[in-house]
Amino acid sequence: MTQDTPSLTLAEIAAQLGAGLQGDGERRVRGLATLRDAGPDQIAFLANRAYLKDLPETRAAAVLLHPSHADESPVPCLTLDNPYLGYAQLSRLFDPLAGREASGVHPSAVVAEDARLGEGVAIGPQAVIEAGVELGDGVVIGPGCVVGADTRIGEGSRLHANVTVYHGVSIGARVILHSGCVIGGDGFGFAHDGAGWHKIAQLGGVVLGDDVEVGSCSSIDRGALGDTVIGEDVKIDSQVQIAHNVQIGAHSALAGCVGIAGSTRVGRHCMLGGGVGLSGHLTVCDGVQVTGMSLVTNSIHEPGVYSSGTGAMENAQWRRSAVRFKQLDDIARRLQRLEKAGRDA
């Protein structure tokens, strides 16, 4: 830990989380760790019953947990009905990056004369801010970022190093874009004349709502005519591909390596597991969860959990099953003939 590491009393933490407190409120902590690894100046948390076995042996200064487990804690505890949400809030209290950015423009950055910068904006080394860009108060632009012409970025948003935002993109407040992601690149649009491909100019833009987060090396393509729209509070993991004119409703979450083809609409409060693929021009209603590695080729109109594909199995068994899969059509036809013969008898 460094001198900049926050030092907070348990009473201060309880007040900020709205948590109950059992134990010495004046005890100070300087970090956050797991039940197993926490030391006497750190706070731990219990949000999953699978780790309840580690509670009796913890050396933490205090534990954040559900009130039902408070009597089992050998150390002071903070109690919340949703300890995992409390952990999320607690983690931000000890974030070493919080509040450390100094405002101002690095001498090596290139900023267009007509760019509009709000109060407290920070622009890092080798960043490029093109003509007509508007950066809201407290925006942080990391080293090596490029923000294209006429793009707007809302207050409190942060671009980590080497993010590329193309022209004409609208980004809301408190958005986080991680390193290497690309927002507003051309959608995959080409027309074929029988001999070769002809590029279709992508004339739309991208709109990211407030509180969106996009993981490293993810791409969100601009629309062909209208905009690609990502609703507020959408969370997008790393290496996700979102094609042109896709719309994703508020509060949805996409895990790593999801791919969504063009003009598909995903509703609000949806969750797509790792490696999920959605074909183009589909509609997925609100409240849908698609489990990892599933392929969705038809619209989904009822909320619920959906899956496709087969789970991993021992190779010899999988090979036998693959052979039988190829035989299914023939087996079905033979069964139909047998049923028809039985009815005619």
Tens of pLDDT, residue by residue over 219-234, are: 999 999 999 999 999 9
* DSSP designation for 78: E
Residues of the domain holding 23: 8-93
Count the domains in the chain. 1
Could you tell me if residue 19 is inside a domain?
Answer: yes
pTM, 2 dp: 0.89
| CATH number of the domain to which 61 belongs | 3.40.1390.10
Could you tell me if residue 108 is inside a domain?
Answer: no
Q: What pLDDT was estimated at residue 341?
A: 85
In the chain, % helix, strand, coil (3-state, to 5) comes to 20, 25, 55
Considering only 2-6, 27-31, 274-278, 325-329, which range has the smallest mean pLDDT?
A: 2-6
pLDDT category at 17 given cuts 50, 70, 90 is: very high
Could you tell me if residue 196 is inside a domain?
Answer: no
* Cβ contact 46:58 at 8 Å: no
Could you tell me if residue 51 is inside a domain?
Answer: yes
Instruction: Answer yes or no: is pLDDT of 269 > 80.
Output: yes
Could you tell me if residue 299 is inside a domain?
Answer: no
Q: What pLDDT was estimated at residue 309?
A: 85
Q: What is the pLDDT of residues 138-185, one digit of tens each?
A: 999 999 999 999 999 999 999 999 999 999 999 999 999 999 999 999
What mean pLDDT value characterizes the chain? 94
The CA-based angle 247-242-84, given to 5 degrees, is 80
* b/e sequence 86-98, b meaning 16+ C-beta within 10 Å: bbeebeebbeeee
Q: What pLDDT was estimated at residue 94?
A: 86
Instruction: Answer yes or no: is pLDDT of 2 > 50.
Output: no
Could you tell me if residue 34 is inside a domain?
Answer: yes
Q: What pLDDT was estimated at residue 4?
A: 61
Could you tell me if residue 311 is inside a domain?
Answer: no
- For the annotated catalytic residues, the residue numbers are 244
* Cβ contact 250:268 at 8 Å: yes
Could you tell me if residue 200 is inside a domain?
Answer: no
* b/e sequence 221-231, b meaning 16+ C-beta within 10 Å: bbbbeebbbbb
